[in-house]
A and B are shown apart, each in its own frame.
Chain A
């Protein structure tokens, strides 16, 4: 099919609009990178609007020596890893029976899980339940609520159902039980969906702020996002308190804010390409087939 002149112009216009969209998407990231490595004095004078002005790693040095920073980094990694393992284990176990045709209870169990997609107890009742379990201010408050979601169960179930029946049937004939079928046949064949959900869950834990705000009291257990927020609020407070007098201090906090954003976000940006490979698939399974 030949392209007409009008079609060509149309395509060019679309490409130009998308160029602007790309710039808007990327600009904030470029700006903070520039702010974080520029000369702090230039940052404060408002000279940094796109590319770095001067060069300084002062903000990063300060960041690395900030107390609690590395601890919160470690905490976040622990929450993300433990939370992801729990999510994968729970979701696999829960979703597998739902994919087995001979299992009659699956209709009722399915309904039981799906209801939770539409009905939510609310912030306060959830908080009170978690408190009554005595897991406030522990790792468990960070990894258990939300570990099992109807949405993930649905995605796992559709994937398991897509595995040819003949595979597990032959295993059953050979005398394997359901556990064996799940661990030796289904899960090894489900690596793509396990990887997808693992990456999404990890990012969710990495970015999570709400659970920590509600369920943690001790600063030494705070995840990265809480510390990041405190740094940003602290910087704002300093702005208000010191006005323009404490020039040196302020100049560092501006860059410090930027540096803390970069250090916090870098891991997510690093695993983003791996997520992107999978997530087109993940989104489709979840939403279209729903």
Chain B
């Protein structure tokens, strides 16, 4: 701070602070015009691609008219909400979205922590490096490829069914059976993210004070005891922050993978809110109805985020805000 002021004319700055302290933009217009100009394009781009859609959500309360656009269309009140809540698929969509998100969260959240703890037990060397390289890789594979790899693995004549057959079981058509959708979805999600998401925990683990382990060793702690009493408490802050950040994802099931995996035969368990928005809203051109489902989805995930943050603050005094 002191250094900064000493290089520029201090009195002039102080005078400005007094005069225009109530309006930062006016101040910057006078003194930092270039920086304002630099920001203009970012502000405009964010406005168009993020804030306009946020405002555009009012279309959920209107009847979208192709020629009059979002703002010119007539108001429809809660009509679309009534039809969404009365939709025969409403219960199914809610259940599928929640269960898919919930199980994904339950398995993909702890998996990277366990992987990081295991990697942390390895000595630095070739094996550790190779394992890291291999486990991070699936994160960079596209959803289309992940789903096709799965379809190859789990096809009627694929290796998984060959094993099942060899053990005397019947061939399972995994992608046609509603009961297998969630296990496949969650399993592939672990495969994709476990390595990459472990990076952050490994970083936190590398910051643990080695003297803590030495002290525990002197006290006669076993490896497992050290992990439970030293390592995990040391990274609990990181775990908590990531927990809050990810809690909203329980109802935000990614569109791409479900869309690529499901078929009318598995809608029973696979169809989620975002895919329903696509089918009704984009394909069926019922824009207002689709926006209603969008809004419903966003409101639930925001609510979850706020609840998670509130609980976290109560319990540990830490939170995202």
A residues whose Cβ falls under 8 Å from a Cβ of B? 1, 6-7, 10-11, 14-15, 17-18, 21-22, 24-26, 28-29, 31-32, 35, 46, 49-50, 90, 93-94, 96-97, 100-105, 107-109, 112-113, 116, 118-130, 132-133, 144-148, 153, 165-166, 169, 172-173, 177-179, 182, 203, 206-210, 213-214, 225, 228-229, 232, 236, 257-258, 261, 264-265, 268-269, 272-273, 275-276, 279-280, 283-284, 287-288, 290
Contacts A119-B298, A132-B69, A284-B203 hold; do A22 and B143 have CB atoms under 8 A apart? Answer: no
A-B contact pairs, 18 of them (CB 8 A): A18-B119, A46-B158, A94-B41, A102-B31, A118-B302, A122-B298, A123-B294, A125-B55, A125-B56, A125-B59, A126-B53, A148-B45, A148-B46, A153-B42, A209-B144, A213-B259, A265-B141, A283-B199
Q: B residues within 8 A CB of A93?
A: 38-39, 41-42
**In the complex, are the beta carbons of A124 and B131 less than 8 A apart?**
no
Interface of A is mostly: helix
**In the complex, are the beta carbons of A125 and B294 less than 8 A apart?**
yes
**In the complex, are the beta carbons of A14 and B148 less than 8 A apart?**
no
**In the complex, are the beta carbons of A14 and B140 less than 8 A apart?**
no
Complex CA distance for A126 and B36, rounded to whole angstroms: 27
**In the complex, are the beta carbons of B149 and A14 less than 8 A apart?**
no
Q: What is the minimal beta-carbon distance from A9 to any residue of chain B, in angstroms?
A: 9
Query: What's the interface size class on B, roughly?
Result: 35 or more
**In the complex, are the beta carbons of B162 and A49 less than 8 A apart?**
yes
Is B157 part of the binding interface, using a Cβ–Cβ cutoff of 8 Å?
A: yes
Total A-B Cβ pairs within 8 A? 277
Q: B residues within 8 A CB of A104?
A: 24-25, 27-28, 32
**In the complex, are the beta carbons of B152 and A120 less than 8 A apart?**
no
Contacts A103-B32, A104-B28, A122-B291 hold; do A112 and B121 have CB atoms under 8 A apart? Answer: no
Complex CA distance for A100 and B34, rounded to whole angstroms: 12
Complex CA distance for A124 and B259, rounded to whole angstroms: 16
**In the complex, are the beta carbons of B200 and A10 less than 8 A apart?**
no
Q: A residues within 8 A CB of B217?
A: 1
Contacts A102-B32, A109-B43 hold; do A209 and B256 have CB atoms under 8 A apart? Answer: yes
**In the complex, are the beta carbons of A257 and B148 less than 8 A apart?**
yes
Is B52 part of the binding interface, using a Cβ–Cβ cutoff of 8 Å?
A: yes
Complex CA distance for A25 and B141, rounded to whole angstroms: 12
In the complex, which of the residues A25, A32, A46 contacts B162, with contact meaning CB atoms closer than 8 Å? Answer: A46
Complex CA distance for A102 and B4, rounded to whole angstroms: 9
Q: What is the minimal beta-carbon distance from B181 to any residue of chain A, in angstroms?
A: 17
The residue among A29, A144, A269 with the most chain B CB atoms within 10 A of its own CB is: A29
Q: B residues within 8 A CB of A290?
A: 241
Complex CA distance for A287 and B53, rounded to whole angstroms: 26
**In the complex, are the beta carbons of B282 and A31 less than 8 A apart?**
no
B residues whose Cβ falls under 8 Å from a Cβ of A? 3-4, 7, 24-25, 27-28, 31-32, 34-36, 38-39, 41-43, 45-46, 48-57, 59, 64, 69-70, 115, 118-119, 121-123, 127, 130-131, 133-138, 140-145, 148-153, 157-159, 162, 191, 195-196, 199-200, 203-204, 214, 217, 222-224, 238, 241-242, 255-256, 259-260, 274, 277-278, 281-282, 287, 290-291, 294-295, 297-298, 302, 305
Q: B residues within 8 A CB of A121?
A: 50, 52-57, 294
Q: What is the minimal beta-carbon distance from B131 to any residue of chain A, in angstroms?
A: 5
Complex CA distance for A113 and B122, rounded to whole angstroms: 41
Complex CA distance for A86 and B242, rounded to whole angstroms: 30
The residue among B24, B39, B222, B294 with the most chain A CB atoms within 10 A of its own CB is: B39
**In the complex, are the beta carbons of A96 and B38 less than 8 A apart?**
yes
Complex CA distance for A214 and B223, rounded to whole angstroms: 52
**In the complex, are the beta carbons of A25 and B134 less than 8 A apart?**
yes
Contacts A128-B59, A290-B241 hold; do A232 and B144 have CB atoms under 8 A apart? Answer: yes
**In the complex, are the beta carbons of B298 and A100 less than 8 A apart?**
no
The residue among B35, B57, B153 with the most chain A CB atoms within 10 A of its own CB is: B35
Q: A residues within 8 A CB of B54?
A: 119-121, 125
**In the complex, are the beta carbons of B122 and A129 less than 8 A apart?**
no
Q: What is the minimal beta-carbon distance from B120 to any residue of chain A, in angstroms?
A: 9
Q: B residues within 8 A CB of A14?
A: 118, 121-122
Complex CA distance for A261 and B153, rounded to whole angstroms: 13
